[in-house]
């Protein structure tokens, strides 16, 4: 149950959460050089994706995130009816994405992760710490959705079943450990060490890659791909991160290795966007305090 009486968010606050979700998707796409992924330099391991498509997809999802924030702001509890409403909005968002991109999967995992986090933030704006928001998102992710179609055959489900590893569902249900325990602490640590903002974000992405069983990589390149990703990312961190000369060299080697394997860590990219979302959320909430106070 809510800690305080439910206060419907003004549409402007739900709009600000949606703006933040879109902005972190743009920032993730633009960040360069990202190993194996679409960025400002090239399309990584993709033939069907490019930076323009990532941007169009991100902007097209704004209404989805706003609808999710508004639904959560009027919900009485983090319960099955809110979970099912978010499921319906998430599936609608996936259709909008596919219409915008001509059928290419740009942000399926991001709709899931950022959708849950946006709703969790909107539900209790007065508790906006990363740990609180990730915890509420996990509560939502663990609830059943009676209207979810029986999907047995997604790339993620197949990879999880084949290799016995957790995927996007489990990451959310566990409270986004790759974000809260790795991406965010690394972002703050690299900033504190004096790294520039782009290098700090790259380090956060690398910290996520070092631990995440990314089902996109497993699907395309199996355990060899996952091993290459995780060991390559650990090597970048061991060399001092992306701001050092040796770290930059290790990053380039990881990019080359992933391209050779045709592997793209799309799950890690989504979780970097989630890291940036939680990082900026508290200041967004403080700025908006006036708009949601009764
Ligand atoms: C629960 C869902 C996430 C569905 O999950 P499932 O595993 O069944 O389905 P997938 O289609 O495989 O989607 C999972 C996407 O999540 C990202 N991801 C991968 N690993 C992880 C991980 N360990 N932790 C977190 N997130 C992870 C990843 O998304 C990114 O990659 C996409 C591009 O992938 P790519 O392989 O390049 O492209 P494809 O076209 O799929 O294949 P190729 O032929 O090119 O190789 C891109 O979208 C990134 O975002 C995985 O793709 C959830 O979606 C769901 O149930 N939704 C229903 C609606 C709902 O209930 N919503 C709730 C409220 S929001
Ligand atoms: N930058 C990116 N490149 C490829 N797949 C992605 N999925 C999410 N962000 C991505």
Ligand nearest to the CA of 91: 1
Containing structural domain, residue 33: 11-292
How many other C-beta atoms lie within 10 A of the C-beta of residue 127? 17
Centroid of ligand 2 to alpha carbon of 103 (angstroms): 15
Is 27's pLDDT higher than 80? yes
Is 213's pLDDT higher than 50? yes
Domain assignment present for residue 284? The answer is yes
Q: What is the mean pLDDT of residues 201-230?
A: 98
Centroid of ligand 1 to alpha carbon of 122 (angstroms): 23
151 lines ligand 1 (CB under 6 A): yes
Under DSSP, the state recorded for 79 is S
- At residue 3 the predicted structure's pLDDT band, cuts being 50, 70 and 90, is low
More confident residue, 214 or 283: 214
More confident residue, 286 or 235: 235
pLDDT averaged over the chain? 94
Contact 245, 184 (CB under 8 A): no
Is 179's pLDDT higher than 60? yes
User: Tell me: the pLDDT tens digits for 105-136?
Assistant: 999 999 999 999 999 999 999 999 999 999 99
Of 75, 145, 76, residue with least CA distance to 112: 145
Tell me which residue has its CA closest to atom 38 in ligand 1.
105
Ligand nearest to the CA of 268: 1
Overall number of domains in the chain = 1
Output the pTM of the full model.
0.95
Q: Omega of the bond prior to 247 within 30 degrees of 0, cis? A: no
The ligand 1 atom nearest the CA atom of 160:
7
Domain assignment present for residue 6? The answer is no
38 lines ligand 2 (CB under 6 A): yes
Domain assignment present for residue 2? The answer is no
Centroid of ligand 1 to alpha carbon of 74 (angstroms): 28
User: Tell me: the pLDDT tens digits for 261-286?
Assistant: 999 999 999 999 999 999 999 777 76
Domain assignment present for residue 5? The answer is no
Domain assignment present for residue 3? The answer is no
Domain assignment present for residue 54? The answer is yes
pLDDT for position 289: 57
pLDDT for position 293: 44
User: Tell me: the pLDDT tens digits for 57-84?
Assistant: 999 999 999 999 999 999 999 999 999 9
263 lines ligand 2 (CB under 6 A): no
pLDDT for position 290: 47
Domain assignment present for residue 168? The answer is yes
Domain assignment present for residue 198? The answer is yes
**Cα distance between residue 170 and residue 177, in whole Å:** 10
Centroid of ligand 1 to alpha carbon of 270 (angstroms): 9
Q: What is the mean pLDDT of residues 164-193?
A: 98
**Cα distance between residue 194 and residue 94, in whole Å:** 39
The ligand 1 atom nearest the CA atom of 91:
59
Q: What percent of the chain has pLDDT over 70?
A: 93
Centroid of ligand 1 to alpha carbon of 239 (angstroms): 31
264 lines ligand 2 (CB under 6 A): yes
């Amino acid at each position: 149950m809510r800690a305080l009486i439910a206060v419907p968010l003004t549409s402007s606050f739900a709009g600000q959460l949606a703006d933040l979700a879109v902005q972190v998707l743009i920032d993730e796409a633009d960040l360069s050089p990202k190993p194996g992924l679409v960025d400002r330099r090239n399309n990584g391991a993709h033939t069907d994706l490019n930076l323009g498509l990532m941007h169009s997809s991100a902007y097209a999802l704004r209404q989805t995130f706003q609808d999710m924030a508004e639904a959560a702001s009027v919900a009485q509890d983090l319960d099955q009816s809110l979970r099912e409403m978010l499921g319906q909005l998430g599936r609608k968002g996936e259709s909008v994405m596919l219409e915008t991109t001509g059928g290419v999967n740009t942000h399926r995992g991001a709709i899931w992760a950022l959708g849950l986090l946006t709703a969790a933030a909107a539900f209790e704006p007065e508790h906006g710490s990363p740990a609180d928001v990730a915890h509420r998102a996990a509560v939502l992710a663990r609830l059943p959705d009676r209207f979810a179609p029986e999907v047995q055959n997604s790339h993620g489900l197949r990879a999880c079943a084949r290799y016995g590893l957790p995927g996007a569902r489990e990451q959310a249900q566990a409270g986004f450990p790759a974000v809260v325990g790795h991406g965010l602490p690394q972002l703050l640590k690299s900033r504190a060490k004096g790294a520039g903002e782009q290098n700090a974000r790259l380090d956060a992405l690398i910290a996520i890659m070092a631990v995440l069983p990314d089902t996109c990589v497993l699907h395309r390149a199996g355990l060899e791909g996952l091993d290459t990703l995780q060991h390559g990312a650990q090597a970048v961190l061991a060399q001092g991160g992306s701001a050092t000369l040796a770290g930059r060299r290790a990053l380039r080697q990881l990019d080359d290795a992933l391209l050779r394997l045709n592997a793209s860590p799309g799950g890690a990219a989504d979780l970097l966007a989630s890291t940036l979302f939680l990082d900026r959320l508290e200041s967004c909430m403080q700025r908006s305090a006036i708009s949601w106070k009764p």
